[in-house]
Structure 1
Amino acid sequence: MRLLHTSDWHLGQTLHNYDRTYEHGCFLAWLVDTLVEQDIDVLLIAGDIFDNANPSAAAHRQLYRFLQQARSRVPHLQVVVIAGNHDSPGRLEAPTPLLEAHGTVVVGNVGRTPDGEVDLERLLVPLRDRAGAVRAWCLAIPFLRPGDVPRVVSDNNELALDPYLHGTALLYQQAFALAQSRCTGGEAIIAMGHCHMVDGKSSQDSERRIVIGGTEALPTTMFDPSVAYVALGHLHLAQRVGGHEHRRYCGSPLPLSFSEVGYQHQVLRIDLDGPAATSVTPLPVPRAVQLLRVPAQPAPLEEALAALEALDLPEAPLHTQPFLEVRVLLDGPEPGLRARIEAALAGKPVRLAKIEPTRRQATPDGAAHVLTLDQLAQLQPDDIFRRLWAQRYGDEAPPDQLAAFAELTHALVGDAA
C-alpha cells in the first residue's frame, strides 16, 4: 500500500494582502497528477487545510473541486483529513456524509461517548487495499484543545502536573491500543496528528504558536515504537521528529512567508509492506510564483535601490509575477521610503509585498536603566516617545519629530473629549 502525506495547505491565505488562489490551484492540480503518477492508495492531510476558521466560498470550492478531481482520476483513492489549529472543526466536518460517499473521511472534533469518555472509535480509520481488505489502521487525531483530552490522575487521585501534555499522550496511547486490538495480523498502524513536537523547527513569521497552559511541545515518547509511520502537521518546514525516519512533518506545500524563500517544499510518499513502512520518499512541489528578497541581506537604502533598479525579470501576467520583499538598513526615519522603492521598481514585472526596514541598534550612555512602577506611572506620552526614539536610533529625538508627536497627541485627546 502506498500513502501520500501532506499538510498545512492554508487555502485562502493571502501574502501581505496578495491573493494566492492561483498558487493553491497550481499546487492542487500538481497534486492530482502526482496521485496518478505515483499510484497512491491513501492521501493523508494532516490539518490546516484552510488558513482561518471562516474560509471563503472560493477556498471551499478549491478543496471540494480537488477532492472530486482526485477521486475521478484515482477511483480507488482514500482521503483522510484531520483539522488543524487554523481550521474550524465543525465547519470541516459539516459535509461528512457527502464526502464519505466519495472516499473521504474527515475528523475535526474529538467526540464523547454517552458516559463522557473520548470516543476513540471515530478516531480510528481503516485503510483498505483495492480489493477492499484492511491493510492498515490510521489514528486520525485532530488538533487537540484542553477539553478534548482525557483527565490524567495519579494513584492518590491528584490531577497530573501538566494535564494537557499527559492527557494528549494518554489519548494517543488509548487510540493505539484500540488499533492494536483490531489488527488481525500484518496490518500497519499509522498515526496522524496536528501538534508541535519537542525540538520541532518552526518557520519564522508564518506559524501560529500553540500554547496551552505552559505546554507547547509534545514528547515523541507518546508514539509507540511499533507505529509504522507518524504523519504530522503544523510546522511548515519538512523534518524528521527526534531523528526518526518514520516520524515526519511533511511541511507546507507553499511558502507562507518570506523566511521560506530558499526552502524546497515537498510532500512525502510512504510505502508500506505489511506492518512496516519500507521507505519515505520526498516529492518536491514546484513553485508556481517565486518569492524574492532584495537585497539578500539588509543593505543601506542607496544600495537597496540600486539592487532594485538592476532587477531584470521576464515579462509575466500579473498573477504569476514574483512577490518581492525589500530589505533596507536604516540609520533613522525615512519618510519617503516607500515612494523611492516604488520608483525604483516602476515598470518591472514584480509585486511589492513587503518592505522590511532594519535599524542600526545604538544605545546612548545611561539610556537603558530600569524604572520603578512609580516612575513609570509618572511618565508622560512625550517622555515615552523620547525614550523609544533614543532606544531605536541612539540619539535624542529631533525637535520637528517632537512637535509632530505633540500635535498628534493633542489631536487624539481632542477627539476623545
Structure 2
Amino acid sequence: MRFFHLSDLHIGKQLYGYSLLEDQEWILEEILKKIRERKPDALLICGDIYDKSVPSGEAVAVFDRFLCQAADSVPGITILIISGNHDSPERLAFAGKILEQQSVYVEGLPPMTEQERIKRVTLEDAWGKVEFWLLPFVKPGYVKGVFGGKEPESYQEAVSGLLEREELSEDKVRRVLLTHQFFIAGGEKPRQSESEMITVGGLDQVDTTCLKAFDYVAMGHIHRPQAMGKPSVYYCGTPLKYSVSEWNQKKYLTEVELKDWGSQPEITLHPLHPLREVRMIRGSLEDILAAGGEKVSQDYVSITLTDEQEPYQPRERLERLFSRILEVKIDNTRTSMLTPEESSLELVSDPREIFHRFFLQMQGRKMEEGEEQVMEEIFQKIGGEQV
C-alpha cells in the first residue's frame, strides 16, 4: 500500500502581506506531477487545508482544482482529508457524502456523541486490509458528548479517550491514523517554527503513547518535517516555507509504503522546489547592494543591516534588487542595547518605513499606490524632507 502524506497546505496564506496563492499553485502542481509518476493508492491530507476558517474564493478554487486533478491523475486513488485547527470543520466537510462516492473522504469533526466512532476507511492490497482512521483536530470541548457530557480535562485525556474506546481487534490488520494535534514523545516537544500557533503552558500537548496501535501515524499541525519518537510517527511539515524562521528548512513530499503486517513502513522524502525561496540576508547596505547583481530577485527576503551609521531610506534602495522584501532590520551597537520590545519598534529609523510596517500589521496587506501618495502628502505637510 503506497500513499502520500501531506498536511498544513494553508492555502490563502499571506507572508508579510504578500499573497502566496501563486506559490501554492506552483507547489501543488509539483505534487501532482509526483502523483502521476508514483501512482499512490491513497493521498492523505492531515489538516489546515486553508489558512483561515473562512477562506477566500480564490483559495477554495485552488484546492478544488488540486483535488480534481489528483483524482483524475490515478484511476482508483482514494483521497483522505481531515480538518485542522485553522479549518472550519463544517465548511471543509461540505458535500462529504457525495464526495465519498468519488473516493474522496473528508472528516471535519471528531466523534461528538457516545454513538459515534472515529471514521475508518478500509483499503486492500496484496497483503490484506489497511484501515485508515480519520481523526480531525480535537479540542476537549468538542467531545464532551462522547463522555456523558463531561468535558475531558486536557487534550491528552480527550485524544487518548477517543482512541481507547475504539474496538481494536487483535487480527493482523495494518492501521494508519490521520491526526492533527501537538504531540510530544517521551517528554520531547517537536521543533517548531514562527508560523505555528503557540499555546501557552503546553495545554494542547498529547503524548504519543496513545498511538501504539497504529503502523503509521500521519500527523499534521507542526510545520517542520520530523519524526516523533520513531520514524513511523511523523509530521510531514508544510510544502512551503511560511515564516522567516523556516528559511533554512528543506520541504518534502512524504511517500509511505506499507508492506506485510509487522514490517516497518518504508518512508521516502521527495524534495519540493518552490517558485520563490524565503531567504535571510545580513550585511551592510553597500555590501548587499554590491552583491546583488543586475537581476531583480523574486525571492521573499528578510534583510538585516549592520551599518553603524543607519542609512537613509534603505528599503527604497534595496527594492531595486529585491521585489519581495519582508522586513528590513537594523543590528548594530545601538540596537543591541535595546530591549526586545524596543528593538521591535525601532527596526528602522525612517518614519515612512515605520508607517509601512504599521499599516501592514494592521491591514494585513501592503499599501496601494494611492495610499502611499496620501501618506507622503501628510509627511510633507508636517515636516517635509526632515520627517
With normalisation by structure 1, the TM-score equals: 0.73
Looking at structure 2, the residues matched to 51 and 25 of structure 1 have their Cα atoms a distance apart, in angstroms, of 14
The within-5 A match list for 1:332-411 is: 339-346=313-320, 348=321, 350-358=323-331, 359-361=335-337
Aligned residue for 2:289?
308
> Which of the numbers 130, 139, 145 marks the counterpart of 1:145?
139
Aligned residue for 2:55?
55
Aligned with 2:258: secondary structure? strand
Tell me, yes or no, if the aligned pair for 1:203 and 1:260 is still in contact at 8 Å: no
Aligned residue for 1:411?
none
The within-5 A match list for 1:73-222 is: 73-112=73-112, 116-117=113-114, 119-121=116-118, 123-129=119-125, 135-150=129-144, 162-175=153-166, 177=167, 180-181=168-169, 185-198=171-184, 199-210=188-199, 215-222=203-210
Aligned residue for 1:327?
304
Looking at structure 1, the residues matched to 136 and 90 of structure 2 have their Cα atoms a distance apart, in angstroms, of 12
Tell me, yes or no, if the aligned pair for 2:107 and 2:136 is still in contact at 8 Å: yes
* Displacement of 1:245: 1.2
Do the aligned partners of residues 349 and 56 (structure 1) sit closer, same or farther apart at CA in structure 2, a change above 3 Å counting?
same
Aligned with 1:350: secondary structure? strand
State which drifts further: 268-277 or 21-30.
Answer: 268-277
The one-letter amino acid paired with 2:255 is R
Looking at structure 2, the residues matched to 216 and 45 of structure 1 have their Cα atoms a distance apart, in angstroms, of 21
Looking at structure 1, the residues matched to 307 and 296 of structure 2 have their Cα atoms a distance apart, in angstroms, of 31
* Displacement of 1:305: 4.1
Looking at structure 2, the residues matched to 349 and 26 of structure 1 have their Cα atoms a distance apart, in angstroms, of 21
Aligned with 2:84: secondary structure? coil
Alpha-carbon RMSD = 3.1
Looking at structure 1, the residues matched to 179 and 345 of structure 2 have their Cα atoms a distance apart, in angstroms, of 42
* Displacement of 1:239: 0.5
Aligned with 2:165: secondary structure? helix
Looking at structure 2, the residues matched to 78 and 323 of structure 1 have their Cα atoms a distance apart, in angstroms, of 35
Do the aligned partners of residues 26 and 149 (structure 1) sit closer, same or farther apart at CA in structure 2, a change above 3 Å counting?
same
Tell me, yes or no, if the aligned pair for 2:305 and 2:328 is still in contact at 8 Å: yes
Looking at structure 2, the residues matched to 340 and 190 of structure 1 have their Cα atoms a distance apart, in angstroms, of 52
The one-letter amino acid paired with 1:170 is G
Looking at structure 2, the residues matched to 146 and 67 of structure 1 have their Cα atoms a distance apart, in angstroms, of 31
The one-letter amino acid paired with 1:138 is F
Looking at structure 1, the residues matched to 295 and 175 of structure 2 have their Cα atoms a distance apart, in angstroms, of 49
Looking at structure 1, the residues matched to 17 and 64 of structure 2 have their Cα atoms a distance apart, in angstroms, of 24
Looking at structure 2, the residues matched to 325 and 266 of structure 1 have their Cα atoms a distance apart, in angstroms, of 23
Aligned residue for 1:407?
none
Aligned with 2:203: secondary structure? coil
Do the aligned partners of residues 143 and 36 (structure 1) sit closer, same or farther apart at CA in structure 2, a change above 3 Å counting?
same
Do the aligned partners of residues 262 and 105 (structure 1) sit closer, same or farther apart at CA in structure 2, a change above 3 Å counting?
same
Do the aligned partners of residues 390 and 269 (structure 1) sit closer, same or farther apart at CA in structure 2, a change above 3 Å counting?
closer
The one-letter amino acid paired with 1:51 is D
Tell me, yes or no, if the aligned pair for 2:154 and 2:204 is still in contact at 8 Å: no
Aligned residue for 2:353?
none
Tell me, yes or no, if the aligned pair for 2:122 and 2:130 is still in contact at 8 Å: yes
* Displacement of 1:137: 0.8
* Displacement of 1:73: 1.3
Aligned with 2:249: secondary structure? coil
**Deviations, residues 223-249 of structure 1 (Å, cap 9, x unaligned):** 12x41101100110000102x011100
Do the aligned partners of residues 28 and 161 (structure 1) sit closer, same or farther apart at CA in structure 2, a change above 3 Å counting?
closer
Percent identity over the alignment is: 27
Do the aligned partners of residues 118 and 151 (structure 1) sit closer, same or farther apart at CA in structure 2, a change above 3 Å counting?
same
Which is higher, the Rg of structure 1 or of structure 2? Answer: 1
* Displacement of 1:389: 6.8
* Displacement of 1:108: 0.8
Looking at structure 2, the residues matched to 279 and 35 of structure 1 have their Cα atoms a distance apart, in angstroms, of 17
The one-letter amino acid paired with 2:216 is Y
The within-5 A match list for 1:278-289 is: 278-289=265-276
Looking at structure 2, the residues matched to 87 and 161 of structure 1 have their Cα atoms a distance apart, in angstroms, of 22
Aligned residues: 337
Aligned with 2:265: secondary structure? strand
**Deviations, residues 124-171 of structure 1 (Å, cap 9, x unaligned):** 222344x9x972111211111122235899xxx9x8994432122111
* Displacement of 1:174: 2.6
Aligned with 1:201: secondary structure? coil
Tell me, yes or no, if the aligned pair for 1:203 and 1:235 is still in contact at 8 Å: yes
Do the aligned partners of residues 47 and 391 (structure 1) sit closer, same or farther apart at CA in structure 2, a change above 3 Å counting?
closer
Looking at structure 1, the residues matched to 253 and 342 of structure 2 have their Cα atoms a distance apart, in angstroms, of 46
Question: Any gaps of 5 or more consecutive residues in structure 1?
Answer: 364-387, 394-417
Tell me, yes or no, if the aligned pair for 1:138 and 1:189 is still in contact at 8 Å: yes
